[in-house]
């Protein structure tokens, strides 16, 4: 009899929105021992490592790279671009990481002979090293020492970490060693070597710059001296005299020109004075006229004053005593004598003025002659003066360059006498108080995580490689059969009645399963047990299908020991407890089948509403399996984790069953949640 398969159980579970969570819980439940063992193993190894590992101490030094600091004698700070600053700081970090600087630290701290750093060699190793040094040549021994020093340098580079903190000017130097004091020495030694290297490089560059400046200064001095000597030779050859305020002939021309102007002025003045005197002489001028403004003679002034006084007196006497009075006549005579004396003095002055005019004209002519001669000489030396000015300009330029470079050299020399490094120590390394490695908490936490990851990976691999059917979803995916109920193992969770029969029935709470006499009545004695709940779900599915099918229920398992007898007996008990007329019919597992067995099944079915047939396992091909077509409700009982999907389908095919002839699958002995 063929029956259409009704998707129950697993299909409902797959439709649940949180089915994946149940699968995940089941995964961890199945592999809890593996996960625990993996985590415990890795944690144990971590504990052994933490207990046996040599402690490491880390000391730190903080450097500040200040590229903009100004030396004490430097007037203007250097202007540096931001990108160039970043590149320079990164370059300084690489310098601190360089093997050359590390070699200097190794030599300064004598790390090649420090047992705390290179380790203590055994007596055998020291003996072999001594024999090797004795029997090897000097070149081979030197190469061995060089190789050993290289290894120490590489060990130092591994022990030291240099990194820049963000985009700041701060560089942190971390040194790790077995000894806390050695760690501080390594960090401080690298810092000291770096600062000393900076000063050495700066002093070397300063010395090289000073040598170049001295050479350049000597070169400029020599060029200025040669240019000046060439000017002097040219001046001597061409008769050019330089007084410091210009050329001598140019100054002479200026002076002669000034003298000529002055001589001409004196000549003109003497000529005008002579003409005035002659004019007054021709006219017979009155002595009372202001001739003193022209002649400026004290004699004439005195005579004129006496003349004016006598004239005043004559006027007074004449008004009192008359014009012809004796005193008036005498005064008139005296006035006439004074007039004669004035005229005589005027003629003398005229002669002197005429003589001065002759002298002035002669001096003017001489100065004019000298000026004409000097002008003619200057005209002949114009080309020489142009060459002289060019040579003088070149000599002045060399002299200016020499003076300016001399000033710069002296300023640079004063500034370089106080060298300043571009870095300074912010925090000096001190021996650490606690060890940095191994970090027990971090290692244990990582070990726990690693153990879980390893266990998880192994569990996933096991799940992927192990295709045995363990849950409804896997059953449906691999075989297409629906799971209508899941039954836990009775022995996995001892029922509540076990303490009442501690050992009288041959088992206790720790036994694998109760005796069969107790298991066949398990649903009656343990109504709230998980096994009973699963049986009730199975009963409900059967009752739902019994409306369309006959009341003959068959239970068969792929292999022996799956628990079909227990499930069949409890199913009958449960149906009877629900008021249904049910009977259990176990089929024999022998090779033959008793005559009239099919008729017996039909007779039991007429007398009872349900007939539960307990078939032998499919792994034993017996004649009882020929009754399968007469069963209305065929239920496959599968022990969880016992078979894979391919093997199960193969056994069903050999037994003449297929997915359409089986109502559903009951997964038995499914592990329960703790």
Query: What is the distance between the alpha carbons of residues 235 and 226, in angstroms, rounded to a whole number?
Result: 14
pLDDT at 113 over 60: yes
Query: What is the distance between the alpha carbons of residues 89 and 75, in angstroms, rounded to a whole number?
Result: 24
Question: How much is the average pLDDT of 228-254?
Answer: 70
pLDDT at 320 over 90: no
Tens digits of per-residue pLDDT, 639-663? 888 888 888 888 888 888 887 888 8
Peptide bond between residue 438 and the one before it cis (omega within 30 degrees of 0): yes
User: Looking at per-residue confidence, does 27 or 498 come out higher?
Assistant: 27
Predicted pLDDT at 77? 56
Predicted pLDDT at 368? 84
pLDDT at 365 over 90: no
Predicted pLDDT at 291? 46
Could you give the percent of the chain with pLDDT greater than 70? 78
Predicted pLDDT at 467? 78
Residue corresponding to tokens 């004695």: 525
Local confidence band at 11 (pLDDT 50, 70, 90 cut-offs): very low
pLDDT at 296 over 50: yes
Local confidence band at 285 (pLDDT 50, 70, 90 cut-offs): low
Query: What is the distance between the alpha carbons of residues 70 and 420, in angstroms, rounded to a whole number?
Result: 9
pLDDT at 450 over 90: yes
Tens digits of per-residue pLDDT, 439-449? 888 989 999 99
pLDDT at 324 over 50: yes
Give the E-state strand segments of 227-360 in sequence order.
Answer: none
User: Looking at per-residue confidence, does 507 or 187 come out higher?
Assistant: 187
Of the candidates 325, 298, 300, 299, the one whose C-alpha atom is nearest the C-alpha of residue 313 is: 325
Local confidence band at 393 (pLDDT 50, 70, 90 cut-offs): confident
Question: How much is the average pLDDT of 218-238?
Answer: 81
Predicted pLDDT at 506? 34
Tens digits of per-residue pLDDT, 477-523? 888 898 999 998 876 444 443 333 333 333 333 334 445 456 778 88
Predicted pLDDT at 451? 92
pLDDT at 535 over 60: yes
Burial of 195 (0-12, 13-18, 19+ CB in 10 A): middle
User: Looking at per-residue confidence, does 242 or 226 come out higher?
Assistant: 226
Predicted pLDDT at 7? 40
Residue corresponding to tokens 């089986």: 662
Would you kindly state where each structural domain of the chain is located, as residue ranges?
10-30+468-670, 32-53+438-461, 248-380
CATH class of 10-30+468-670: alpha beta
Predicted pLDDT at 452? 92
- Contact residues for 411 (Cβ-Cβ < 8 A; gap 6+): 73
For residue 242 the two structure tokens come to: 């330089």
Predicted pLDDT at 414? 63
Q: 3-state class of 238 per DSSP?
A: helix
CB atoms within 10 A of CB 478: 16
Tens digits of per-residue pLDDT, 40-84? 999 999 999 888 888 888 899 999 987 766 455 555 555 666 788
Whether the full predicted model's pTM is greater than 0.85, yes or no, is no
Question: How much is the average pLDDT of 112-133?
Answer: 62
pLDDT at 630 over 60: yes
pLDDT at 276 over 90: no
Question: How much is the average pLDDT of 284-298?
Answer: 54
User: Looking at per-residue confidence, does 612 or 593 come out higher?
Assistant: 612
């Amino acid at each position: 009899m063929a029956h259409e398969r009704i998707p129950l159980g697993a299909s409902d579970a797959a439709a649940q929105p949180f089915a994946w969570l149940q699968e995940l819980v089941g995964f961890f439940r199945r592999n809890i021992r593996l996960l625990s063992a993996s985590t415990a193993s890795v944690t144990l190894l971590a504990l052994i490592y933490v207990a046996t590992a040599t402690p490491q101490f880390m000391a730190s030094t903080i450097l500040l790279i200040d590229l903009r600091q100004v030396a004490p004698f430097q007037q203007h700070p250097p202007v540096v671009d931001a990108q160039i600053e970043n590149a320079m700081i990164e370059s300084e970090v690489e310098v601190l990481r360089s093997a050359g600087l590390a070699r200097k630290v190794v030599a300064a701290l004598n790390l090649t002979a420090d047992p705390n750093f290179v380790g203590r060699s055994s007596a055998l190793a020291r003996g072999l090293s001594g024999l090797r040094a004795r029997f090897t040549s000097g070149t081979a021994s030197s190469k061995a020492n060089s190789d050993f020093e290289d290894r120490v340098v590489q060990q130092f580079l591994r022990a030291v970490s240099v990194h820049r903190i963000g985009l700041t000017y701060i560089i942190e130097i971390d040194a790790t060693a077995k000894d806390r004091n050695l760690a501080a020495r390594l960090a401080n030694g690298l810092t000291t070597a770096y600062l000393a290297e900076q000063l050495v490089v700066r002093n070397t560059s300063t010395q090289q710059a000073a040598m170049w400046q001295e050479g350049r200064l000597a070169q400029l001095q020599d060029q200025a001296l040669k240019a000046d000597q060439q000017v002097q030779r040219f001046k001597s050859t061409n008769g050019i005299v330089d007084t410091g305020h210009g050329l001598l002939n140019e100054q002479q021309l200026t002076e002669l020109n000034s003298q000529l102007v002055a001589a001409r002025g004196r000549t003109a003045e003497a000529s005008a004075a002579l003409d005035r005197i002659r004019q007054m002489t021709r006219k017979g001028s009155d002595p009372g006229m202001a001739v003193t403004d022209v002649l400026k003679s004290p004699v004439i002034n005195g005579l004129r004053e006496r003349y004016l006084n006598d004239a005043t007196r004559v006027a007074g006497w004449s008004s009192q005593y008359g014009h012809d009075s004796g005193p008036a006549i005498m005064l008139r005579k005296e006035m006439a004598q004074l007039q004669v004396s004035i005229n005589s003095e005027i003629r003398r002055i005229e002669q002197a003025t005429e003589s001065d005019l002759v002298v002035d004209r002669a001096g003017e002519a001489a100065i004019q002659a000298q000026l004409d001669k000097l002008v003619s000489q200057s005209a002949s030396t114009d080309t020489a003066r142009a060459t002289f000015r060019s040579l003088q300009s070149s000599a002045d330029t060399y002299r200016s360059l020499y003076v300016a470079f001399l000033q710069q050299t002296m300023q640079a020399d004063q500034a370089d006498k106080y060298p300043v490094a571009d870095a300074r120590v912010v925090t000096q390394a001190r021996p650490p108080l606690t060890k940095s490695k191994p970090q027990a908490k971090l290692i244990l936490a990582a070990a726990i995580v690693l153990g879980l990851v390893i266990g998880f990976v192994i569990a996933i691999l096991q799940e992927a490689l192990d295709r045995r059917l363990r849950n409804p979803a896997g059953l449906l995916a691999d075989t297409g059969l629906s799971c209508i109920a899941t039954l836990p193992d009775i022995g996995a969770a001892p029922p509540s009645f076990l303490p009442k029969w501690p050992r009288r029935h041959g088992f206790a709470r720790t036994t694998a399963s109760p005796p069969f006499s107790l298991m066949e009545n398990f649903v009656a004695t343990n109504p709230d047990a998980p096994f009973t709940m699963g049986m009730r779900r199975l009963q409900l599915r059967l009752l739902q299908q019994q409306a369309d099918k006959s009341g003959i229920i068959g239970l068969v398992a792929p292999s022996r020991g799956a628990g079909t007898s227990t499930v069949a007996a409890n199913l009958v008990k449960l149906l009877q407890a629900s008021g249904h007329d049910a009977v259990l019919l176990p089929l024999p597992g022998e090779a033959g089948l008793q005559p009239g067995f099919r008729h017996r099944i039909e007779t039991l079915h007429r007398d009872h509403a349900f007939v539960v047939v307990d078939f032998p396992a499919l792994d034993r091909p017996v004649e009882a399996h020929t009754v399968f077509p007469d069963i209305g409700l065929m239920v496959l009982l599968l022990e969880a984790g016992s078979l894979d999907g391919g093997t199960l389908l193969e056994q069903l095919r050999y037994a003449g069953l297929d997915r359409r002839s089986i109502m559903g699958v009951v997964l038995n002995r499914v592990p329960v949640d703790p």
